[in-house]
Amino acid sequence: MSAIILQEEIVHYEVLGRGRPIIFLHGWVGSWRYWIPSMQAASMSYRTYALDMWGFGDTAKNTSRYLLSQQLRLLKSFIDEMGIGRVAIVGHGLGAIVALMFAQENPTYVDRVIAVGVPLKMDQINPRMLQSTPQELADWLLGSTPDSEAARKEAPKADQNAIYHSLQHLASAGIAELPQQLSLPCLFVHGQNDPAIAMTDTAILATFPTSFHFIALENTGHFPMLDMPSKFNRLMTDFMALPSGESPRNLELKDEWKRRIR
């Protein structure tokens, strides 16, 4: 296990590969661990980092750090302390919101963002997200693949307050306006059958700037990176391979693809 002390508390992270940096940020259910297949897929061309945010996985549990602003501070401290340059961020749920807000506050830090299963309005969030324990959420939302099982085992490590406070804070965070405030390339990915976060309305998607692109993954739920890892990872690596600043509008789902060790 790799750990770093940030703001006088322990932060757990893992790193794999060499190349331009990508940071993976988990969502409300689980921890860094469900990014393992994506890190493996990207690791031959990129240096991949995944960290547990405040209140999740093996990072410190401290209720005073559970607001979104504190998770943003954590990400900035991590990038600064690790000496990571301009970075691509892949965020899921809570991690996607943190990625988008961080990019808006720190445009020089972020090259591009993939936002998976991100709600732009509170009414997209199933109320069960606010009422259930981390274990109940994991049992509800995770599938039965080996990687899902690994994520399920990590879920109880989360402090329910970390989930609750970040969701509560969303209402006042103004995330609905974020896409209009960002000029960097951004790919929104959503599991078409996600029961936790409803898909963003097409009328809203139509207002997104041309630097944004939305792709719905069929036959996937809240964890498209686990439900369809080959398809998700192909999409991710195609997006990462675009020249800096290029719109992802022409990206499309391609045949399944699997990173193989040569």
Binding site for another protein (CB under 8 A): 14, 16-18, 33, 36-37, 39-40, 43-44, 146, 150, 258-262
Q: Toward another protein, which CB reaches closer, 135 or 230?
A: 230
Q: Toward another protein, which CB reaches closer, 31 or 71?
A: 31
Check if the beta carbon of residue 27 is closer than 8 Å to that of residue 92: yes
DSSP, collapsed to helix, strand or coil, labels residue 175 as helix
User: 15: which residues sit within 8 A by CB, 6+ positions away?
Assistant: 2, 47, 48, 49, 50
* Min dist. Cβ of residue 261 to another protein (A): 6
* Min dist. Cβ of residue 16 to another protein (A): 5
Give 101's DSSP letter.
H
* Min dist. Cβ of residue 37 to another protein (A): 7
d(CA 89, CA 236): 11
Strand 20-25 to 110-116 pairing: unpaired
Q: Toward another protein, which CB reaches closer, 2 or 181?
A: 2
Q: Toward another protein, which CB reaches closer, 203 or 261?
A: 261
Q: Toward another protein, which CB reaches closer, 18 or 86?
A: 18
* Min dist. Cβ of residue 178 to another protein (A): 33
Check if the beta carbon of residue 209 is closer than 8 Å to that of residue 180: yes
* Min dist. Cβ of residue 34 to another protein (A): 11
How far, CA to CA in Å, does 253 sit from each of 4, 189, 213, 215, 259? 37, 11, 12, 8, 16
Residues counted in the chain: 262
